[in-house]
Amino acid sequence: MKNYNINDFQVYIRQTESLPDVVQIDNMIFTMEEYDMKGKFVYYGNRKYRKQIKVETEDRYNKGMKDAVVTIYDSLSQPNDICYVE
C-alpha cells in the first residue's frame, strides 16, 4: 500500500476522482467510516492512533472531486460497527 502524506492524498483524490476504502497516510492506515448521500463528505478513521480524516467536496456525485479538501484531526469517538485495519 502506498504511503501518502495528507497533501499527496488530496492531490490523488482530485486527479483520480476516486476514494479508496483503505488508505495509508503518514504511516497510519485509515479505514473509510462514513459518507453522506449528498456528496459533501467522507470520513476515514484510525482506531490505534485515534485519528480521523475528513474529505470534503461541494458535491462529488454531480460535480466530481476536483475541489476535495482533506483534513486530519484527533478523533473523539469511532463507530463500533467498523472493522478497522489499524
Of 47, 49, 18, 48, whose CA–CA distance to 35 is shortest? 18
Calculate mean pLDDT across residues 56-80. Answer: 91
pLDDT of 84 strictly over 90: no
Tell me the pLDDT band of 73, cut-offs 50, 70 and 90: very high
Q: What is the pLDDT of residue 67?
A: 97
Q: How do residues 30-59 score in pLDDT, each as one tens digit? A: 999 999 999 999 999 999 999 999 999 999
Percentage of the chain beyond pLDDT 70 is 99
Q: What is the pLDDT of residue 82?
A: 79
Of 20, 19, 22, whose CA–CA distance to 39 is shortest? 19
The grid coordinates of residue 14 equal 482530485
**Sign of the C-alpha dihedral, residues 65, 66, 70, 76?**
negative
The identity of residue 47, as a single letter, is: R
Q: What's the number of CA atoms in the CB half-sphere (13 Å) around residue 18?
A: 5
